[in-house]
Amino acid sequence: MVIEIKVPDIGNFDTVDVIEVLINIGDEISIDQTLLTLESDKASMDVPADVAGKITQVLVKVGDKIKEGDVIALLELADAKTSSPTQASIAAPTVAEAVQVPDVLQVPAALPVPTNADCDVLVLGAGPGGYSAAFRAADLGLKVIMIERFPTLGGVCLNVGCIPSKALLHVVKVTEEAQQLAAHGISFGKPVIDLDKLRGFKESVVSRLTGGLAAMAKMRKVEVVQGEATFIDTHNMAVKLNDGSTRNICFDKAIIAAGSRPVHLPFMPENDPRIVDSTGALKMDSIPETMLVIGGGIIGLEMATVYSILGTKVSIVEFTDGFVPGADRDLAKVYETYNKNRFEKLMFKTKVITATATDAGIEVTFEGENAPSTPQTYAKVLVAVGRAPNGKLIGAQNAGITVDERGFIPVDLQMRTNQANIFAIGDIVGQPMLAHKAVHEAHVAAEVCKGLPRFFDVKQIPSVAYADPEMAWTGLTETEAKLKNIAYEKAVFPWAASGKAIAHGRDEGFTKLLFDPDTHRLVGGGVVGANAGDLIGEIALAIEMGADAMDIARTIHPHPTLIESVGMAAEVFEGSCTDLPPVKKK
């Protein structure tokens, strides 16, 4: 019997790119054999087969953009008796969202709670999701133990991610604003960079926040255990402490918040300090003369922006046709135009195929539409192709916890795994891998542990690229709407008509709102421009509250501000905007 192999749910990504096809007509494939390699702005990933058989037709090729439901190949089952009579599904790639299942999973009853349990709730991981879960559970009166392998609380976000990168991007913003004042009659000398002081500023920001978390843990009587943890069974966890000893912790319920790690490309030289991930780039140990950033997603753009202001000649290679594939192209286009002179070279629709460590630097060979004809050498290479979940690194199998082939842990809408007393949140349950999503999932899990009727049921999750200009979007995107044939109507307010934007010399951006054509309710929105990330919150709230265009348009916004562009975009939709040429009233 011949069946179709289709693309599964790819979460918040409308399409992903095929960068390698590993099957041919006539190939005999086995279960878990890799069929394709895909790439998004978050990660490169393999797509394995979950059935065995013979490939009779291959329907995709390198360079194709594929979406959920597309047929990848036709396969003749090796054993039709044991396979689906209609179609075979392939395991979800790493861009898959948290598994959407019924509100509450049908799970086996947990083992009886030992009478000598050390805590009501054990939280594995102390990032934004982990500490939020621990603190919320403690606030609800539960006894909590939180395990963290690193010396300070806060996880990747506070220590080597969101926070230190924003501290450095603040320096970039102030520096560039000072330079731009020359056009308005105020000039400063060339910036003098003291790398030690810059690094010290970044570390002071991190220290202040992580120290505050430690204090709040003490206030809530949350016990913090430092070490690497592994499940023993559904009620016990072994923690290898820093002194080499092992502590076994018995718990009633557990919340897994073990996060993710940077994706590493297998062809990159090992253990070369000139090749870094985002963590290495944030160490700021030197200012390289040249740098290649592999990946034009959010992480790559942020670090490319930082190093460019320090004087590094930065080149970016991105397999897709533009920056930040998750964002609508009109947002990304504004960023590209504004930054046309910032970077040394942009190589879209291009990929790295080899990298060799030499005395002169890292020699890189490219392939694709904009690939250089000869290998290029860089003083430093930043690999920023996404993150992989840590689900396979915590001994989940010992507790019978389901973990998919990529390391994601499926959960229901109460964040419960297939084990009744074990929950999971954050990066480890799927895309989008964002701290603010993890925090809200954490509150749900903690409250369910207390017995409260909570569910993670949201209409939108905002995303922000903190480059310059910033790009922010939430809810339905135009790209997704067109791909899924969802009807929508759009209203755009250009910042060229914003008094605040013009006064600040930053009128390149715009605010865009998407409405349901029948109900006029807001279903999505995007902003590009200075401080766009600070504007997207109102759009997020409006979507969650079910606001329509009239609600937003008739809400009085302060003037002159950038946030009033949200109200004015709604007025554009209503046909009542007096800050733009007249349009036909709806």
Q: Token digits for 139?
A: 């606030």
- Nearest to residue 351, comparing CAs of 333, 332, 364? 364
Residue 302 CB neighbour total at 10 angstroms: 25
Measured between alpha carbons, how far is residue 455 from residues 426, 440, 452 in Å? 15, 10, 9
Q: Which residues pair with 368 in a beta bridge?
A: 350
- Apex 215 CA angle, 212 and 218, nearest 5: 155
Q: Put the strands of the sheet holding 2-6 in their side by side order.
A: 28-29, 53-58, 71-77, 2-6, 87-89
Residue 575 Rama label (left phi>0; alpha psi -120 to 50; beta): left
Residue 582 CB neighbour total at 10 angstroms: 9
CA dist., res. 441 & res. 133, Å (int): 8
CA dist., res. 16 & res. 386, Å (int): 13
Using DSSP's 3-state secondary structure scheme, residue 210 falls into helix
Going by their DSSP bridges, the two strands 470-475 and 522-529 should be labelled as antiparallel
443 part of the active site: no
- Nearest to residue 210, comparing CAs of 262, 141, 163, 145? 163
Going by their DSSP bridges, the two strands 44-48 and 34-39 should be labelled as antiparallel
Tell me if 115 sits within 8 A of 249, measured CB to CB: no
Q: Token digits for 319?
A: 């397999």
Q: Which residues contact 212 (CB under 8 A, 6 or more apart)?
A: none
The beta strands (E) that lie in 27-130 are given as 28-29, 34-39, 44-48, 53-58, 65-66, 71-77, 87-89, 119-124
Q: Kindly name the residue from 235, 436, 557, 559 that is annotated as catalytic.
A: 559
Q: Token digits for 341?
A: 């002179």
CA dist., res. 233 & res. 514, Å (int): 48
Measured between alpha carbons, how far is residue 166 from residues 157, 286, 528 in Å? 11, 19, 17
Provide the residue count of the chain.
586
Residues assigned a catalytic role: 559
